[in-house]
Amino acid sequence: MRILTAFKQDLKFQFRHKFYHAYLIVSIIYIALLLSLPGDLRPFIAGIIIFSDPAMVGFFFISAIILLEKGDRILESLFITPLKLEEYIIAKLTSLGVLSLVTSLIIVLITIETRVNYLLLIIGVILTAATFTLFGLAITAWIKTVNQFLIVSTLFSMIAVLPVIGYLGLTDSWIFYLWPSQPALLMIGGALNGGISSYHLIYSLIAFGIWLYLGLNWSRSWFYKYIILKIGDK
């Protein structure tokens, strides 16, 4: 089980580089914030919080991981081993997904008193984490420094959070259904705020399927083009 070894390695790496420490603190902040709100306001705000941070954490952290591995020449030795690029990517997705899931669940379990559809929440967080980690992976492949990533990711996140306008009930424009963050909001928001309609559920699953497929191909080909071929050129 090469992939399992890679997964364990990634978890260790993330723990060693204080990812879990950081997210413990971040969770405490969100819990404090949510507990300060009246109980009936919490599920609504928690939906925005979980969608925008714990679920998307992989998007930011993946770039730091890849850039460090690039700098340390870890990637070069990696592609000499039998580990396939797909396996490498999947190990990264699952390890960061664990971080997303653990923090999201801790926040919800402590702060939400109303009924929560945990199955929907778990599936929603996992799919959101995987999709956005893949986007982060693709963008990082194409970028050279952490500072560049900070700029690009800021612009990307500004665009990505726009469907929140729909979540707030300000518009029911169909345009946001083209966003990869729309299914994330529908599923996570629905899990916390009394469920999801079957139409929305079917749309969300199909949309995630499409985005995951695109993200996987996009990150795989860019990774190959900008990182692996570059290593070969040296």
Give every CB contact of residue 222 below 8 A, 6+ residues apart in sequence. 138, 141, 142
Q: Taking a C-beta distance cutoff of 8 angstroms, is the pair 166, 182 a contact?
A: yes
Assigned token pair, 3: 């992939």
CB of 193 to another protein, least distance (A): 12
Residue span 61-90 as binding mask against another protein, x where in contact by CB under 8 A, dash where not: x--xx-xx--x-------------------
Q: Which residues of 186-203 are buried (b: 16+ CB within 10 A; e: fewer)?
A: bbbbbbbbeebeeebbeb
Q: Taking a C-beta distance cutoff of 8 angstroms, is the pair 93, 132 a contact?
A: no
Q: Is 110 in the site for another protein (CB under 8 A)?
A: no
Residue span 199-228 as binding mask against another protein, x where in contact by CB under 8 A, dash where not: ------------------------------
Residue span 179-198 as binding mask against another protein, x where in contact by CB under 8 A, dash where not: --------------------
Residue (7 or 19) nearer to another protein, CB: 19
Q: What is the largest CA-CA distance in the chain?
A: 59
Helix (H) or strand (E) run with residue 231 in it:
helix 229-233
Residue span 14-53 as binding mask against another protein, x where in contact by CB under 8 A, dash where not: ---xxx-xxx-xx-xx--xx--x-x-xx--x---------
Of 134-142, 149-157, 186-194, 218-226: span binding another protein (CB under 8 A)? 149-157
C-alpha dihedral sign at 112, 118, 121, 127 = positive
Residue (59 or 211) nearer to another protein, CB: 59
